[in-house]
Structure 1
Amino acid sequence: MDSSDRKSRRDEFDDLLRDAIEKLPPEVRRLVDEVPIIVDDEPWPELLREMNLPVSSESDLCGLHWGIPLNEKSSMSDQPDTPRIHLFRGPIVRLAGSNRRELKRQIQITLIHEIGHLFGLTEERLAELGYE
């Protein structure tokens, strides 16, 4: 794959992510507008080790919510981290394969999953809702 193919795939991913954000309910979008959504190519090795996941160039970690969930924040908190959401392009693309519709679906699922964590939902609750 040459650099122009990689750029067009990145552009496609970014366009689909923008669409997914725009389709969020307005009240959710307003809250999410305050949270950086960062797209990384892959999860970094230190993160995988910290999460007790195998360090691999073929990781299947698609996203991560970083920081204190909004339902646990307080003005008395000494937690300096600004909440943020990371989406990992490589694992999402690998999961979707070459199917654009599936890529769109995986981006939406991952985004909603991480927003769920932002609002304090557990992995179990997200699975119950269909956002594994």
Structure 2
Amino acid sequence: MSEGQTLAPDADRIEAIARATIAKLPPEFARHLGDVVLRIEDFAEDDILAEMGIENPFELTGLYTGLPVGSKSVDHSGTMPDMIHLYRRAILDEWVETGVTLEALVSHVVIHEIGHHFGLSDEDMHALEEMVG
């Protein structure tokens, strides 16, 4: 936390960090993210957690819902938009536990979820994270 900060960062702060991370992406990534919706919620919904087999909502910091870029076709028109969900309370909990900066943590989660959008491997996501770093 910054000096004098007495309240946990709110959803607007998390979103600002996420959008700043997206703005730093190379153009070949950024041009495919225009229609992706960014949602900041305190926790994942219970049905999402159950579907993923997660009992503790603090264990899920982010989620990508939608189809990877290479899997899209005209057959998918009319479907829900691709979304990156960031779960504020889980992020804040990890932030406190790990001691990394909030910016670094949110950036890591955002890039991981963007990686799912592009169908990237963990290795590719790590390289993208270093690029944005």
Superposition TM-score, scaled by structure 1 size: 0.77
Q: C-alpha offsets along residues 31-74 of structure 1, whole Å, 9 cap, x if unaligned?
A: 112110111111111110011111x35x2211111011111111
* Cα distance in 2 for residues equivalent to 1:13 and 1:72: 29
Ranges in structure 2 where 5+ consecutive residues have no aligned partner: 1-5
Task: Note if contact 1:97-1:103 (Cα within 8 Å) is conserved in structure 2.
Answer: no
* Cα distance in 2 for residues equivalent to 1:53 and 1:103: 24
Ranges in structure 1 where 5+ consecutive residues have no aligned partner: none
Q: 1:83 to 1:92 in 2, by over 3 A?
A: same
Q: Counterpart of 2:23?
A: 22
Aligned residues: 121
Q: Which amino acid aligns with 2:104?
A: R
* Cα distance in 1 for residues equivalent to 2:24 and 2:119: 21
Kindly report which structure 2 residues correspond to 1:1-132, keeping only aligned pairs within 5 A, or say none.
5-6=7-8, 9-10=9-10, 11-54=12-55, 56-57=56-57, 59-77=58-76, 80-97=79-96, 102-121=101-120, 125-126=121-122, 129-130=125-126
Identity %: 30
**RMSD of aligned alpha carbons:** 2.5
Task: Note if contact 1:71-1:120 (Cα within 8 Å) is conserved in structure 2.
Answer: yes
Q: Which structure carries more relative contact order (alpha carbon 8 Å, separation 6+)? A: 2
